Structure 1
Amino acid sequence: MTDTASNTLALPIRPFLRPLLQRLAPFVGTPLNVALSLLLLWLILRVGWLLLDWAVVNAALLPAKPETCAATTGACWSFVIAKSGQILFGIYPPAERWRAGLVCVLILTTLVASARPSSWRPWLGFAWVAMMALVLWLMGGGFGLSRVPTSSWGGLPVTLILTVFAIGLGFPMAILLALGRRSGLPVVRTLSVLVIETIRGLPLLSLLFVASILLPLLLPEALLPDKFVRALLALTIFAAAYLAEVIRGGLQAIPSGQSEAAKALGLGYWNTQRLIILPQAIRIVIPALTNTIIVMIKNTSLVLVVGLFDLISSGKAALSDPDWPAPSTETFLFIGLIYFALAFSFARFADFLERSGMEKRG
């Protein structure tokens, strides 16, 4: 009686389960895949809860004092809050840190404003030049502001200034090197190849050491720029060499017929490159350009080896305070989030440019 009843109940269920399982099969797969998926989900939830418990539930926040961290087993965010000024601005004089903060705001605001295609007008170039001059005045002082030598600069302003100046000055150099490497003039082509391959064959650390140690031995002190400028020159040359190869790849992708058509219309070499070839080539290599620029953002941390206090150096200096338990994990997580925000924002802007270019071609 019981077996008959169970069979009777199973009959209407089987036709219902079969199509349901068939629909779930592409998402679930084999029993092994189901087991691995459940195991991975458990690991994610387990690790996620441990991180949440450490970073939020048991974290120390306020008051930002060493005693607050000593009374908890979680993350010591009190240290990051208390030392945020030193981490962000390094050894810049505390009374003048408003100038360093204003510099960060100016650079980031100009970058955001430049992301709008409607602002791509000739005045934007003048705005960038004015912003760079204002940044140097605010950081260095003079004309009503107290002088602050570059040896006292540090933190996020140094990272932003080195990145913006190195890429801004290196990009025009990269275009000239890329065009020179494809030039029909043997001397120009040979010199361009020599510069690009020499710089690309050297690690950035060696260029920084040359700028910091070798140049003072070769140049008289009256002509020697300070350490910050020498590091900026090394980063600029390094960026120019790598960007040049990226741009050259885009130039090679442009059919030769376009140059010939421009010549037939009476356009000269420079007008052809400026109006026809370069805009298409740069649009083609946006992903590779983005990758190179993001690498340059992170490469600014290497200036530590020549004695400049970038964002990471400032974090290490803050950790040396004996009154605190030196929470290095929290400090470098905070610094890593800043680098991630910069790189991620630029990557999303590059994706926007690439999609816009594809829509125009479509």
Structure 2
Amino acid sequence: MAFEPYVRTQMLDPKPAPVTSVGPAGWLKRNLFDGPGNSVLTLVTMVAIFLLLAHLLPWMFLSVWNADSLAECRQIIDETYGLDHSGACWAVIHDRFFQLVYGFYPSELYWRPNLTFVLMLVALAPVLFTHLPRKMMIFSALFPFIGAWLLWGGSIWTPLAALAGFALGGAAYRYGSAVNGILAIAAAVLVPVIWWIFLMGPIARGLHAVIPLGIEVVESNQFGGFMVSIVIGITAITLSLPLGIMLALGRQTNLFIVRAFSVGFIEFIRGVPLITLLFVASTLLNYFMPPGTNFDLVVRVIIMATLFSSAYIAEVIRGGLAALPKGQYEAADSLGLDYWQAQRLIIMPQALKIAIPGIVSTFIGLFKDTTLVSIIGILDPIGLSNAIRADNAWNGIYWELFVFIGFVFFIFCFSMSRYSMYLERKLNTGHR
């Protein structure tokens, strides 16, 4: 018996995908119920979340926002929701909100930290988002001096004199590079330091005596709350990245003195707890300054936090440099690039791209570690929460303050994490 071969003469119409593989049902199957084990874990997790929310949501939302004391707050809760209900007393946040944000900063001068925060966002924008005009980077470079003057106040000549130190350092490097590269780097460091320590103060005071321009002075002991955490955290994060890059490069250089200093600095800082450095900043650092120098405590803490973070950033970046294949260095040499051109154009961009998760993790840890300053007498949100709870009106309140403080820190840290993910996606040049 002869069989005739089957020859297809037309295409079959496509059939719809199975209901369990597309849409919400498909997502549930892939992510929550993909097999017996995952299904059991999903159900157990859902029950745990339900039990947690069943207790947490009534406590959070069946609460009181307006009261003058914890006793009044509990009385309102008992009268409104019954004696067996324990609701949150958010009235403490309503009552002490400005103190938690600004500390003891004069209320009539709140516009200064508010303006500083807005200007900070403007200054960070061209650094974080490259599609913005590059000319905005000029304002980003000037903002630290503007922000410090707005927060601390005083003579306008002080930030201008501090800015002049960088100009003198640039001039020293320019003229010194014509003689010797190492001499130029040393001059670029020493000239600004000498200017800032010995000359800046007298010259700024002299100019202010001739042309008195300034705003009301606010001492750093009036700083507090989230304002001081943001000032210390953002400043230390901004300064520690370039310093960490220089330390990472210094650790890999062939120059013995530079390499030895970089290695010694990194290993010493990483071997000392941050709280120890903060105690050094609060007690010992003034002994190394000229007699009569009034070195602001917040500035001392910023310096120590920057040094601490830069050591960890250096190691993270060193890991990124070590992950690059040797061919990248050879490619830079084949193009005839010198050391700094190769680092700027080829090596460092790739190393930073690899190190982005570690860098952001270090920044997040540093921002959360700003709460340690309460131990040396700076009233950050944690320190203020202790002071608020010491008040007879709010004695005995705990969870509401810590939940609010944790929520605000979460917003900042989560924003940094999301920006890290955005930057990784933007710089992802690989093929998957």
Alignment counterpart, residue 371 of structure 2, candidates 297, 301, 304? 301
Change over 3 Å in CA distance of 1:65–1:280 after alignment to 2: same
Structure 2 counterpart of 1:59: 63
Structure 1 counterpart of 2:325: 255
Question: Over residues 267-299 of structure 1, what are the superposed CA-to-partner deviations in whole Å (9 max), with x where a residue is unaligned?
Answer: 111111111111111011101111111001111
TM-score (norm 2): 0.72
Q: CA deviation at 1:64?
A: 4.1
Distance 2:120 2:394 in 1: 33
Distance 1:355 1:326 in 2: 47
Alignment of 1:322-333 (within 5 A): 322-333=392-403
Alignment counterpart, residue 135 of structure 1, candidates 147, 150, 159? 147
Deviates more, 1:136-145 or 1:292-301: 136-145
Letter in 1 for 2:59: W
Structure 1 counterpart of 2:107: 94
Matched residue of 1:202: which SS? coil
Q: CA deviation at 1:140?
A: 0.8
Deviates more, 1:348-357 or 1:136-145: 136-145
Distance 2:34 2:329 in 1: 54
Q: CA deviation at 1:223?
A: 3.9
Comparing both chains, which one has the higher relative contact order based on Cα–Cα distances under 8 Å and sequence gaps of 6 or more? Answer: 1
Alignment of 1:1-362 (within 5 A): 27=33, 30=36, 38-56=43-61, 58-61=62-65, 63-66=66-69, 67-72=72-77, 73-111=86-124, 114-119=127-132, 121=134, 123-142=135-154, 143-223=213-293, 225-358=295-428, 360-362=429-431
Distance 2:383 2:323 in 1: 42
Change over 3 Å in CA distance of 1:27–1:264 after alignment to 2: closer
Q: Does the 8 Å CA contact 1:294/1:346 hold for their aligned counterparts? A: yes
Q: CA deviation at 1:35?
A: 6.7
Question: Over residues 106-162 of structure 1, what are the superposed CA-to-partner deviations in whole Å (9 max), with x where a residue is unaligned?
Answer: 3345445643230273x3432223322222122112345321011211111211111
Question: Over residues 182-226 of structure 1, what are the superposed CA-to-partner deviations in whole Å (9 max), with x where a residue is unaligned?
Answer: 111222211111111011111111111112112233434434522
Q: Does the 8 Å CA contact 1:90/1:154 hold for their aligned counterparts? A: yes
Change over 3 Å in CA distance of 1:71–1:113 after alignment to 2: farther
Matched residue of 2:278: which SS? helix
Q: CA deviation at 1:43?
A: 3.2
**Runs of 4+ in structure 1 over 6 Å off:** 23-26, 32-36
How many percent identity over aligned positions?
39
Distance 2:126 2:364 in 1: 19
Distance 2:247 2:52 in 1: 49
Deviates more, 1:86-95 or 1:239-248: 86-95
TM-score (norm 1): 0.85
Distance 1:238 1:184 in 2: 25
Matched residue of 2:390: which SS? coil
Matched residue of 2:105: which SS? coil
Distance 2:243 2:340 in 1: 15
Change over 3 Å in CA distance of 1:141–1:283 after alignment to 2: same
Q: Does the 8 Å CA contact 1:87/1:318 hold for their aligned counterparts? A: no
Structure 2 counterpart of 1:4: none
Distance 2:399 2:240 in 1: 34
Distance 1:117 1:97 in 2: 32
Q: Which runs of 5+ in 1 are unaligned?
A: 1-22
Deviates more, 1:216-225 or 1:206-215: 216-225
